[in-house]
Amino acid sequence: MASPVSPDIDDDGRRPLRLVVLAGHGLGPVGADALAERFGQRHRCLIPLAGRPLIAHVLQTAAQHPRVASLAVCVEREAFDPIWDVLTRLPGRGSVALVEAREDIAASVRAAAQDWDGPLLVTTADHALLSAESIDAMADALEGCDVTFALARREAVEAAHPSALRSYLTLRDGAFATCDLYGMAHTRYVDAVEVFRGARIGGRESARILRAIGLVGLALVKLGVESLSGAVVRASRRMGLRVRAVILPDGTQAIDVDNDRTYAIVRDLLGDGSPDELERDVTRAVA
């Protein structure tokens, strides 16, 4: 087995990142495949958006970021060829790997991190609005913690688009939206991504919060009397890790392409590209 790659520290003392993009079936929200089917695709990450495949937007942002030295895409093997075609058309730098998606998120991230010995960021293929500034904020946070996850305040999300999201995590100090952007300082913290990916109250999301902050913490969150800092302290103690929440000022970072409605919103926010006929049909359907 090859030795793990240890990324070189740059001149400013910052560690380069590997960014993992989750693009496989079953790694997105319920109902995601319905949107793919409308475009005649098996994989949502390949549907057209603003003139190019959906996944191309997040890949270009990552590939051009100076701190992203390595990029890994987790997807089923059947999608390797079309995604590789997307990658070859993008400007960028650093190494790129296609990794076969596993049965769950943590297993997929673990496979994508197999030959890496440095900090990781994890996002999803439908995060078309991912910005370089968000990558910077998460990377900076990882210099002083073990695990980090991104949030945006409700006010920021509604400023970006008033009807983008319909549910928020309500805490004592405000309402927050989760962003599909998570980080860990080392691959040994990979399992934490399963806890922090998704924080809506209900079903499996409640189970994740329970794992992170315990029964009392979950009750306080549901009652709206727990603060964000209090929840983070509980999570750090319970998990034995230094956990940090990064509040991103850009509300678009909480808006992913989950369904017809958010597809139309994201396409409008991108504001470029010429939609094809099917793109226009999807946009008209939610107008």
**Band (127; pLDDT cuts 50, 70, 90):** very high
Average pLDDT on 5-32 reads 68
Residue, of 53 and 216, whose pLDDT is higher: 53
Domains and CATH numbers, the chain: 16-129+257-277 (3.90.550.10), 146-179+187-255 (3.90.550.10)
Q: pTM to 2 decimals?
A: 0.83
The answer to whether residues 192 and 145 touch, using CB atoms and an 8 Å cutoff, is: no
pLDDT single digits (tens) 229-258: 888 887 787 778 898 989 999 999 999 998
**Band (278; pLDDT cuts 50, 70, 90):** very low
Residue 207 has pLDDT above 90, yes or no: no
Amino acid found at 65: H
**Average pLDDT over all residues of the chain:** 81
Collect all residues with Cβ–Cβ distance below 8 Å to 147 and sequence separation of at least 6: 182, 183, 184, 185, 189, 192, 196, 239, 241, 242, 243, 244
Residue 2 has pLDDT above 80, yes or no: no
Structure tokens at 139: 């990377």
**pLDDT for res 63:** 92
Helices then strands, counting H and E runs in the chain, come out as 11, 10
**Band (272; pLDDT cuts 50, 70, 90):** low
**pLDDT for res 235:** 77
**pLDDT for res 203:** 41
Average pLDDT on 17-26 reads 89
Q: 218 — phi, psi (to 5°)? A: -60, -45
14: exposed, middle or buried (C-beta count within 10 Å: 0-12, 13-18, 19+)?
middle
The answer to whether residues 111 and 193 touch, using CB atoms and an 8 Å cutoff, is: no
**pLDDT for res 253:** 97
Alpha-carbon gap, residue 164 to 158, rounded angstroms: 7
**pLDDT for res 217:** 46
Of 126-135, 215-224, 243-252, least confident by mean pLDDT is 215-224
**pLDDT for res 100:** 95
> How does strand 120-124 pair with strand 17-22?
parallel
